[in-house]
Amino acid sequence: MEATVAQTGTEGKTWGGGNKPLGASYGKLMMWFFIASDALTFSAFLAAYGFSRFKFIDSWPIADEVFNHFPFLHGVDAPMYYVALMTFILIFSSVTMVLAVDAGHHMNKKKVTLYMFLTIIGGLVFVGSQAWEWKNFINGTYGAVETRGGQILQFVDTDHERVALADFAKTLPQDRIEHQPSNGVWYDADKQTSASFTVEEITKGFEANPNILVRIQQLDENGKKIVLSREASLAKLKNDAVTTVEGANLTNNEYGPPLFADFFFFITGFHGFHVSMGIILNIIIFFNVLVGTYERRGSYEMVEKVGLYWHFVDLVWVFVFTFFYLV
């Protein structure tokens, strides 16, 4: 124990943090305090997600259908593989971090440097992966139509495979004039003109293709989305559809309830922010290791403290992974 605690000139001074009531140094204890409070913040977010999930339990998007991209595999349905890879990257960077801490116990500067470097690389790869995941989520794949009540109507063929709007929508010879800032006091681009197809074009295309059906958000008893009959599909599209939705933002998304995208952006964004901060902290500590700060101090406890934070970020991801992608 003694060998790992930094001698910072505050020994014996209670308010300087010299006392070690729980056998841990002041710095480590404060890191645990921070982690405990941060864990409660994340729990609150995830519990709020669970609240919305239970509220819409029979119409929530199916994660496998939303997150099914993998780099260089275009159009291939690869549910979960990518996010599993991201999980491995983060767990592995946690392993290199704990190896750095262990090397620090043995005052092995070379090994600490190497492992800290690997940890930083792992963190950067993870944040990059998350950015790619966001890009896919924001761009969307198939596109959908939103009803007056905010319900999402998706399109499938007779085998219940998803169909993209571009595959059947007609391009009507109508003038779609972009709203110009000069024509209004407030520049407010109309949703209809910014989408690739108008609802009329989708409806016309739908009428011309008898093998396309509408899929609604409600789940049947097997956990599959309900597909309407051809007649019901037509009626639904003609009576209720108001806007085209492509991809996701904070107000609508093509996957289902707006809350789904809101929580996704907020929770994974907040976690990504934590990872980014962790990378910055790791880089600072890495340079301190390089210039020999901890070698002179006679203890690598700082690596241990930043390591605690890094493991915590990994821990949060384990929960995000379960509740966003698995459950």
> Which residue ranges make up the site for another protein (CB under 8 A)?
1, 3-4, 21-24, 29, 32, 35-36, 39-40, 43-44, 47-48, 50-58, 64, 79-81, 84, 87-88, 91-92, 94-95, 97-99, 102, 105-106, 147-151, 216, 218, 223, 240, 304, 307-308, 311-312, 314-315, 318-319, 321-322, 325-327
Write down the least CB distance from residue 172 to another protein, Å.
26
CA dihedral sign of residues 103, 104, 109, 113? positive
Nearer to another protein, 120 or 169 (CB): 120
Write down the least CB distance from residue 174 to another protein, Å.
27
Write down the least CB distance from residue 296 to another protein, Å.
21
Nearer to another protein, 172 or 318 (CB): 318
Alpha-carbon span 101 to 116, nearest angstrom? 9
Write down the least CB distance from residue 36 to another protein, Å.
5
The tokens 């779609």 sit on which residue?
Answer: 176
Nearer to another protein, 146 or 205 (CB): 146
**Sheet of strand 241-245, all strands in order from the earlier edge strand to the far edge:** 225-227, 212-219, 152-157, 144-147, 241-245
CA-angle at 70, arms to 64 and 73, nearest 5°:
120
Burial class for 244, CB neighbours closer than 10 Å (0-12, 13-18, 19+)? buried
Write down the least CB distance from residue 124 to another protein, Å.
20
Alpha-carbon span 184 to 102, nearest angstrom? 64
Write down the least CB distance from residue 186 to another protein, Å.
29
The tokens 């995208």 sit on which residue?
Answer: 261
Alpha-carbon span 80 to 112, nearest angstrom? 33
For residue 185, give both structure tokens: 């006091």
